[in-house]
Amino acid sequence: MLKTLGIIDGLLTSDRQRRNVSRLLGGKTVLEWVARQMTDSLQLDGVIVVTDNSEENLFVKTTMPLDVPVFIADTTETLTALCQSLEMFPAESCVYLGSDWPLIDSLLIDQLVITAESNPQGEYAAFQFTDDSYSAKGRPVGMFAEWYNVKALHRAKRKAISSIHREYPGMYFLEKAVKETVTFVSVPKQFAGTEFRMTLESEEAWETISTIFESIDAGNIHWSHIAALLTHLPHAQINRPHLQREHSFS
Protein backbone atom coordinates (compact mmCIF):
# COMPACT_ATOMS: atom_id res chain seq x y z
CA MET A 1 0.00 0.00 0.00
CA LEU A 2 1.21 3.49 -0.87
CA LYS A 3 1.42 6.15 1.79
CA THR A 4 0.21 9.09 -0.32
CA LEU A 5 -1.18 8.91 -3.85
CA GLY A 6 -1.58 11.92 -6.11
CA ILE A 7 -4.85 11.93 -8.06
CA ILE A 8 -5.56 14.26 -10.97
CA ASP A 9 -9.18 15.03 -11.80
CA GLY A 10 -9.81 13.83 -15.35
CA LEU A 11 -13.59 13.62 -14.91
CA LEU A 12 -14.20 16.16 -17.65
CA THR A 13 -17.86 16.92 -18.19
CA SER A 14 -17.87 19.63 -20.87
CA ASP A 15 -16.27 20.33 -24.22
CA ARG A 16 -14.73 23.48 -22.73
CA GLN A 17 -12.92 21.46 -20.06
CA ARG A 18 -11.65 19.01 -22.66
CA ARG A 19 -10.38 21.81 -24.88
CA ASN A 20 -8.65 23.48 -21.96
CA VAL A 21 -6.69 20.43 -20.78
CA SER A 22 -5.75 19.69 -24.40
CA ARG A 23 -4.22 23.11 -25.03
CA LEU A 24 -0.50 23.07 -25.75
CA LEU A 25 2.24 24.74 -23.74
CA GLY A 26 5.81 24.17 -24.81
CA GLY A 27 4.83 21.10 -26.85
CA LYS A 28 2.89 19.44 -24.01
CA THR A 29 -0.78 19.55 -23.13
CA VAL A 30 -2.01 21.27 -19.98
CA LEU A 31 -2.93 17.83 -18.60
CA GLU A 32 0.61 16.56 -19.20
CA TRP A 33 2.09 19.55 -17.37
CA VAL A 34 -0.16 18.94 -14.37
CA ALA A 35 0.91 15.30 -14.27
CA ARG A 36 4.59 16.10 -14.62
CA GLN A 37 4.53 18.69 -11.87
CA MET A 38 2.78 16.26 -9.52
CA THR A 39 5.35 13.55 -10.18
CA ASP A 40 8.02 16.01 -9.01
CA SER A 41 6.53 16.01 -5.51
CA LEU A 42 8.74 14.31 -2.93
CA GLN A 43 5.75 13.49 -0.71
CA LEU A 44 3.76 11.56 -3.31
CA ASP A 45 4.48 7.86 -3.81
CA GLY A 46 2.67 7.73 -7.12
CA VAL A 47 0.39 9.75 -9.40
CA ILE A 48 -2.69 8.67 -11.35
CA VAL A 49 -5.42 10.32 -13.38
CA VAL A 50 -9.07 9.46 -12.78
CA THR A 51 -11.48 9.74 -15.67
CA ASP A 52 -14.69 8.03 -16.76
CA ASN A 53 -15.54 5.61 -19.54
CA SER A 54 -17.24 8.12 -21.82
CA GLU A 55 -16.14 8.25 -25.43
CA GLU A 56 -15.45 11.98 -25.09
CA ASN A 57 -12.81 11.36 -22.42
CA LEU A 58 -10.95 8.54 -24.13
CA PHE A 59 -8.26 11.04 -25.13
CA VAL A 60 -7.19 11.35 -21.48
CA LYS A 61 -5.60 7.90 -21.55
CA THR A 62 -3.65 8.54 -24.74
CA THR A 63 -2.50 11.98 -23.56
CA MET A 64 -0.85 10.93 -20.32
CA PRO A 65 2.85 10.04 -19.90
CA LEU A 66 3.46 6.29 -19.65
CA ASP A 67 4.52 6.55 -16.00
CA VAL A 68 1.15 8.05 -14.97
CA PRO A 69 -1.60 5.39 -14.96
CA VAL A 70 -5.12 6.33 -15.97
CA PHE A 71 -7.96 4.82 -13.93
CA ILE A 72 -11.28 4.63 -15.75
CA ALA A 73 -14.22 4.81 -13.37
CA ASP A 74 -17.71 3.69 -14.26
CA THR A 75 -19.17 6.99 -13.03
CA THR A 76 -18.64 10.73 -13.35
CA GLU A 77 -19.48 11.31 -9.67
CA THR A 78 -16.28 12.51 -8.03
CA LEU A 79 -16.60 10.81 -4.64
CA THR A 80 -17.40 7.38 -6.05
CA ALA A 81 -14.77 7.66 -8.78
CA LEU A 82 -12.08 8.60 -6.24
CA CYS A 83 -12.97 5.66 -4.02
CA GLN A 84 -12.99 3.26 -6.97
CA SER A 85 -9.52 4.42 -8.00
CA LEU A 86 -8.25 3.95 -4.44
CA GLU A 87 -9.46 0.36 -4.45
CA MET A 88 -7.29 -0.26 -7.50
CA PHE A 89 -4.38 1.84 -6.17
CA PRO A 90 -4.54 1.46 -2.36
CA ALA A 91 -3.06 4.27 -0.28
CA GLU A 92 -3.30 5.65 3.24
CA SER A 93 -3.97 9.16 1.96
CA CYS A 94 -4.35 11.00 -1.31
CA VAL A 95 -3.83 14.45 -2.76
CA TYR A 96 -6.53 15.53 -5.19
CA LEU A 97 -5.77 18.14 -7.83
CA GLY A 98 -7.68 19.67 -10.70
CA SER A 99 -6.46 19.44 -14.27
CA ASP A 100 -7.00 23.10 -15.19
CA TRP A 101 -3.85 24.85 -13.90
CA PRO A 102 -0.60 23.56 -15.42
CA LEU A 103 1.76 25.73 -13.36
CA ILE A 104 1.67 23.54 -10.27
CA ASP A 105 4.49 23.94 -7.74
CA SER A 106 5.32 20.54 -6.26
CA LEU A 107 6.62 22.31 -3.14
CA LEU A 108 3.07 23.39 -2.31
CA ILE A 109 1.93 19.79 -2.62
CA ASP A 110 4.72 18.71 -0.28
CA GLN A 111 3.74 21.42 2.20
CA LEU A 112 0.12 20.27 2.13
CA VAL A 113 1.04 16.64 2.79
CA ILE A 114 3.52 17.42 5.57
CA THR A 115 1.07 19.73 7.34
CA ALA A 116 -1.82 17.27 6.97
CA GLU A 117 0.25 14.41 8.37
CA SER A 118 1.17 16.51 11.40
CA ASN A 119 -2.43 16.19 12.60
CA PRO A 120 -2.85 12.67 14.06
CA GLN A 121 -6.64 13.01 13.75
CA GLY A 122 -6.50 14.47 10.26
CA GLU A 123 -9.09 13.44 7.69
CA TYR A 124 -9.03 16.42 5.34
CA ALA A 125 -6.67 19.31 4.60
CA ALA A 126 -6.96 22.35 2.35
CA PHE A 127 -5.27 25.68 1.78
CA GLN A 128 -6.78 28.67 3.57
CA PHE A 129 -6.78 32.29 2.41
CA THR A 130 -6.71 35.24 4.80
CA ASP A 131 -10.37 36.05 4.07
CA ASP A 132 -11.39 32.63 5.45
CA SER A 133 -12.06 31.13 2.04
CA TYR A 134 -10.65 27.74 1.20
CA SER A 135 -9.23 25.87 -1.77
CA ALA A 136 -12.39 23.83 -2.00
CA LYS A 137 -15.79 24.00 -3.48
CA GLY A 138 -14.75 21.16 -2.38
CA ARG A 139 -12.56 20.82 -5.31
CA PRO A 140 -9.01 22.02 -5.50
CA VAL A 141 -8.50 25.45 -6.99
CA GLY A 142 -5.64 26.00 -9.39
CA MET A 143 -2.30 25.39 -7.73
CA PHE A 144 -3.89 24.58 -4.36
CA ALA A 145 -4.67 20.89 -3.90
CA GLU A 146 -6.66 18.98 -1.26
CA TRP A 147 -5.53 16.13 1.00
CA TYR A 148 -7.75 13.25 2.16
CA ASN A 149 -7.35 10.38 4.58
CA VAL A 150 -8.48 7.45 2.46
CA LYS A 151 -10.43 5.67 5.21
CA ALA A 152 -12.31 8.89 5.87
CA LEU A 153 -12.96 9.29 2.14
CA HIS A 154 -14.49 5.79 1.95
CA ARG A 155 -16.59 6.61 5.00
CA ALA A 156 -17.78 9.79 3.31
CA LYS A 157 -18.81 7.73 0.29
CA ARG A 158 -21.07 5.64 2.54
CA LYS A 159 -22.52 8.58 4.46
CA ALA A 160 -22.76 11.50 2.05
CA ILE A 161 -26.31 12.01 0.82
CA SER A 162 -26.21 15.41 -0.82
CA SER A 163 -25.34 15.40 -4.52
CA ILE A 164 -23.17 18.47 -3.85
CA HIS A 165 -21.14 16.56 -1.27
CA ARG A 166 -20.73 13.61 -3.61
CA GLU A 167 -19.59 15.84 -6.45
CA TYR A 168 -17.38 18.04 -4.25
CA PRO A 169 -16.06 15.85 -1.38
CA GLY A 170 -14.17 18.74 0.21
CA MET A 171 -17.48 20.40 1.04
CA TYR A 172 -18.57 17.28 2.91
CA PHE A 173 -15.56 17.48 5.22
CA LEU A 174 -15.81 21.26 5.66
CA GLU A 175 -19.48 21.02 6.60
CA LYS A 176 -19.78 17.64 8.33
CA ALA A 177 -16.43 16.73 9.83
CA VAL A 178 -15.38 17.13 13.45
CA LYS A 179 -13.29 20.28 13.77
CA GLU A 180 -10.15 18.50 14.98
CA THR A 181 -10.04 16.33 11.86
CA VAL A 182 -9.77 19.25 9.42
CA THR A 183 -6.39 20.90 8.82
CA PHE A 184 -5.86 24.25 7.13
CA VAL A 185 -2.63 25.29 5.44
CA SER A 186 -1.99 29.00 5.01
CA VAL A 187 -1.70 30.15 1.43
CA PRO A 188 1.60 31.96 0.75
CA LYS A 189 1.14 35.60 1.71
CA GLN A 190 1.82 36.70 -1.86
CA PHE A 191 -1.51 35.12 -2.85
CA ALA A 192 -3.42 35.53 0.40
CA GLY A 193 -4.70 39.06 -0.07
CA THR A 194 -5.25 39.06 -3.82
CA GLU A 195 -8.01 37.97 -6.16
CA PHE A 196 -6.31 35.89 -8.83
CA ARG A 197 -8.12 33.42 -11.04
CA MET A 198 -6.46 30.07 -10.41
CA THR A 199 -8.32 28.04 -12.98
CA LEU A 200 -8.31 27.93 -16.76
CA GLU A 201 -11.85 29.14 -17.39
CA SER A 202 -11.52 31.94 -19.93
CA GLU A 203 -9.35 33.26 -22.70
CA GLU A 204 -8.01 35.86 -20.27
CA ALA A 205 -6.93 33.08 -17.92
CA TRP A 206 -5.24 31.26 -20.79
CA GLU A 207 -3.44 34.46 -21.73
CA THR A 208 -2.21 34.75 -18.15
CA ILE A 209 -0.96 31.16 -18.09
CA SER A 210 0.75 31.51 -21.48
CA THR A 211 2.47 34.73 -20.40
CA ILE A 212 3.70 33.19 -17.17
CA PHE A 213 4.87 30.03 -18.92
CA GLU A 214 6.93 32.04 -21.40
CA SER A 215 8.52 34.01 -18.55
CA ILE A 216 9.66 31.20 -16.26
CA ASP A 217 11.76 28.07 -16.35
CA ALA A 218 9.07 25.44 -16.95
CA GLY A 219 11.38 22.79 -15.58
CA ASN A 220 11.65 24.62 -12.26
CA ILE A 221 8.25 26.11 -11.45
CA HIS A 222 8.09 27.94 -8.12
CA TRP A 223 5.03 29.68 -6.67
CA SER A 224 7.04 32.79 -5.71
CA HIS A 225 8.01 33.36 -9.35
CA ILE A 226 4.36 33.02 -10.39
CA ALA A 227 3.21 35.41 -7.65
CA ALA A 228 5.72 38.02 -8.77
CA LEU A 229 4.56 37.78 -12.37
CA LEU A 230 0.86 37.90 -11.48
CA THR A 231 1.27 41.25 -9.76
CA HIS A 232 2.21 42.70 -13.16
CA LEU A 233 -0.76 41.17 -14.98
CA PRO A 234 -3.79 43.35 -14.18
CA HIS A 235 -6.21 41.16 -16.16
CA ALA A 236 -5.42 38.28 -13.78
CA GLN A 237 -6.77 40.19 -10.79
CA ILE A 238 -10.35 38.94 -10.76
CA ASN A 239 -12.45 36.97 -8.34
CA ARG A 240 -11.67 33.44 -7.16
CA PRO A 241 -15.06 31.96 -8.03
CA HIS A 242 -14.64 28.46 -6.60
CA LEU A 243 -13.68 29.12 -3.01
CA GLN A 244 -15.75 27.88 -0.10
CA ARG A 245 -16.21 30.68 2.45
CA GLU A 246 -18.56 29.23 5.03
CA HIS A 247 -18.24 26.00 6.94
CA SER A 248 -19.58 24.39 10.07
CA PHE A 249 -18.13 21.59 12.15
CA SER A 250 -20.10 18.96 14.00
pTM of this structure: 0.84
Higher pLDDT, 58 or 226: 58
- Kindly tell me the sign of the dihedral angle through the C-alpha atoms of 9, 15, 197, 207: positive
Q: Please state which CATH class domain 2-236 belongs to.
A: alpha beta
- Summarize pLDDT for 52-100 with one digit per residue, the tens: 999 999 999 998 988 999 999 999 999 999 999 999 999 999 999 988 7
Which ranges of 89-183 does DSSP label H, i.e. alpha helix? 106-117, 150-159, 163-167, 169-176
- Summarize pLDDT for 134-177 with one digit per residue, the tens: 554 444 456 789 999 999 999 999 999 999 999 999 999 999 88
Alpha carbons 237 and 93: distance in angstroms, whole number: 34
Rounded mean pLDDT, 2-8:
97
Among 175, 115, 179, 120, CA closest to 144: 115
Decide if pLDDT at 241 tops 60: no
- Summarize pLDDT for 121-133 with one digit per residue, the tens: 999 999 886 555 5
- Summarize pLDDT for 168-219 with one digit per residue, the tens: 999 999 998 888 999 998 877 666 554 555 566 667 777 777 777 777 776 7
Domain boundaries, the chain: 2-236
pLDDT of residue 125: 95
Alpha carbons 62 and 64: distance in angstroms, whole number: 6
pLDDT of residue 141: 56
pLDDT of residue 135: 53
pLDDT of residue 238: 36
